[in-house]
């Protein structure tokens, strides 16, 4: 089976992780409301909307990675193996593959009288947004000096028939555009919409030492080289199995108001941003537009999988007692949780906190817990914080550090970072004082089997 968005939707359906709706849904606020109601607080199934009002023949999908279970399906692994599956794919670094003949992403082409507003059922997500936005667009561009292609996820505001405002705040594409702009040249850019989630995840990852490119990472995570095909109007390759490809140029020396937009922090954010002028659109028949609802569980899951794996790798290399790393839901990786072995001393835990807060610039608060705590359960993490932490002795505060650009609480770009030692020290988590409630493994497995048979 082809590894693309449609094959993934089929996998979700087989695993009862997909809801298909035939009801007419407006892209103005109603799309967001549907996704939010389905998700709740824990993360529900993915949603495929087959009837978006005003866009006959166009479909819209979301919540694709809004649980660790769906992320595991995307990476072809068990939930408990997500970190290792990501790291394995990260180092696999598969070469992209050029598709011979016609590519699915180019079944139809619009090169004249383009009107993005009528072609794309882009939602207006929240009251207060400046207009419709694309939130799962993977931008691709070549390094002006080396020709190496990379990708990134950047929010896109539909500002007119052929104009998109691009919040281009992170490398490598921001660096590529800066160098092109310094030479007074536009930067050729393609926007891929409707990729397989493994390829989407690769675009979200920050380039690290040892990564050849995000295109190679996409192949490693998807388990096959990323299929590419020559763009219809640009001197570059584009993803061959995407649902929709927008081809255009980032214009030099032009900035326009972009936003306000309800960001993944849960607050509105606006900027003066570059303009992407679109010159051609190619797409599959009956294309499916994918979106990532802002300030939703999906963003948490995407960031937690790769950021947690990368941070674990760095911390474990220095302090082998680090067992696992994740982030609290809703915190956009601002609040991390680190699980450690019971043998790690209080002094070493303090060193770990200093190291973690300085390694990851997004990380604002870190909670260290013992290995009897399920770090993927917010309830258990807060239980450890409530019963094993004393503010007078277990709190570390590091003021005056670099803040993150979309954190509205930063003061002149600076933030204070906090570390919470929520471990059962000095006795340890298995001492009489801190011994937590437990059940025999056999009883738990039997209960699961009984309930599975009733589904």
Q: CATH number of the domain that 264 lies in?
A: 2.30.110.10
Tell whether 312 is covered by a domain: no
Tell whether 144 is covered by a domain: yes
Q: Is the domain of 219 the same as that of 88?
A: yes
pLDDT band at 40 (very low <50, low <70, confident <90, very high): low
pLDDT for 1 beyond 60: no
SS3 per residue for 77-122:
CCHHHHHHHHHHHHHHCCCCEECCCCCHHHCEEECCCCCHHHHCCC
pLDDT mean over 424-436:
89
Tell whether 311 is covered by a domain: no
Q: Is the domain of 338 the same as that of 401?
A: yes
Q: Is the domain of 230 the same as that of 329?
A: no
The pLDDT tens digits of the residues spanning 82-126 come to: 999 999 998 888 999 999 888 999 999 999 999 999 999 999 999
**Is the model's pTM score more than 0.85?**
yes
Considering only CA atoms, which of 332, 197, 363, 358 is closest in space to residue 269? 332
**353 Cβ neighbours under 8 A, 6+ residues apart:** 366, 368, 396, 419, 421
Q: Is the domain of 329 the same as that of 253?
A: no
Q: Is the domain of 233 the same as that of 346?
A: no
In which domain, by residue range, is 386 found?
A: 319-441
The pLDDT tens digits of the residues spanning 162-205 come to: 999 999 989 999 999 999 999 999 999 999 999 999 999 999 99
Residue 451, Cβ neighbours under 10 Å: how many?
9
**171 Cβ neighbours under 8 A, 6+ residues apart:** 152, 206, 207
Question: Which DSSP string corresponds to 346-364?
Answer: HHHHHHHHHHHHHH-TT--
Q: Is the domain of 56 the same as that of 186?
A: yes
> What is d(CA 201, CA 310) in angstroms, rounded to the nearest whole number?
14
Express as a percent the part of the chain with pLDDT over 90: 77
Q: How many domains does the chain have?
A: 2
Q: Identify the residue with better confidence: 446 or 420.
A: 420
Pairing of strands 268-273, 237-239: unpaired
Tell whether 314 is covered by a domain: no
> What is d(CA 16, CA 452) in angstroms, rounded to the nearest whole number?
13
Q: Identify the residue with better confidence: 250 or 436.
A: 250
The pLDDT tens digits of the residues spanning 279-335 come to: 999 999 999 999 998 887 888 888 888 889 999 999 999 999 999 999 998 777 899
């Amino acid at each position: 089976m082809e590894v693309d968005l449609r094959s993934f939707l089929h996998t979700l359906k087989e695993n009862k992780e997909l809801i298909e709706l035939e009801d007419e849904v407006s892209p103005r606020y109603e799309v967001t409301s549907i996704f939010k109601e389905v998700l709740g607080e824990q993360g529900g199934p993915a949603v495929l909307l087959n009837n978006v009002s005003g866009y006959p023949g166009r479909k819209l999908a979301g919540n694709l990675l809004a649980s660790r279970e769906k992320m595991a399906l995307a990476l072809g692994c068990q939930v408990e193996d997500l970190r290792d599956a990501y790291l394995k794919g990260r180092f696999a670094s598969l070469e992209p593959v050029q598709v011979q003949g016609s590519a699915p992403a180019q079944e139809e082409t619009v090169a004249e009288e383009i009107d993005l507003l009528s072609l794309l059922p882009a939602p207006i997500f929240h009251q207060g947004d400046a207009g419709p936005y694309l939130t799962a667009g993977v931008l691709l561009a070549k390094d002006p000096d080396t020709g190496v292609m990379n990708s990134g996820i950047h929010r896109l505001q539909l500002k007119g028939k052929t104009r998109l405002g691009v919040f281009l705040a992170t490398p490598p594409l921001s660096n590529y555009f800066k160098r092109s702009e310094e030479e007074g040249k536009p930067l050729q850019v393609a926007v891929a919409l409707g990729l397989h989630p493994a390829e989407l995840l690769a675009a979200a990852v920050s380039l690290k030492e040892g990564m050849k490119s995000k295109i190679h990472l996409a192949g490693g995570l998807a388990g096959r080289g990323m299929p590419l095909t020559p763009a219809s109007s640009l001197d570059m390759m584009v993803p061959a199995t995407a649902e929709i490809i927008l081809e255009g140029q980032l214009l030099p020396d032009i900035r326009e108001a972009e936003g306000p937009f309800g960001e993944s922090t849960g607050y509105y954010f606006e900027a003066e941003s570059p303009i992407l002028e679109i010159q051609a659109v190619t797409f599959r028949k009956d294309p499916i537009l994918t979106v990532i609802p802002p300030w939703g569980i999906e963003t948490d899951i995407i960031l937690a999988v790769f950021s947690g794996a990368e941070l674990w790798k760095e911390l474990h290399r220095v302090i082998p007692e680090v067992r696992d790393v994740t982030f609290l839901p809703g915190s956009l990786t601002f609040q991390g949780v680190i699980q450690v072995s019971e043998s790690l001393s209080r002094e070493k835990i303090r060193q770990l906190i200093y190291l973690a807060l300085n390694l990851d610039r997004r990380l604002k608060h870190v909670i260290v817990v013992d290995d009897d705590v399920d770090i993927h359960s917010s309830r258990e993490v807060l239980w450890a914080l409530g019963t094993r932490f004393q503010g007078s002795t277990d709190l570390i505060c590091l003021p005056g550090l670099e803040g993150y650009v979309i954190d509205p609480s930063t003061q002149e770009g600076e933030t204070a970072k906090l570390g919470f030692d929520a471990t059962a020290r000095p006795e340890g988590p298995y001492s009489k004082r801190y011994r937590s409630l437990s059940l025999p493994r056999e009883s738990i497995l039997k209960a699961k089997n009984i309930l599975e048979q009733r589904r």
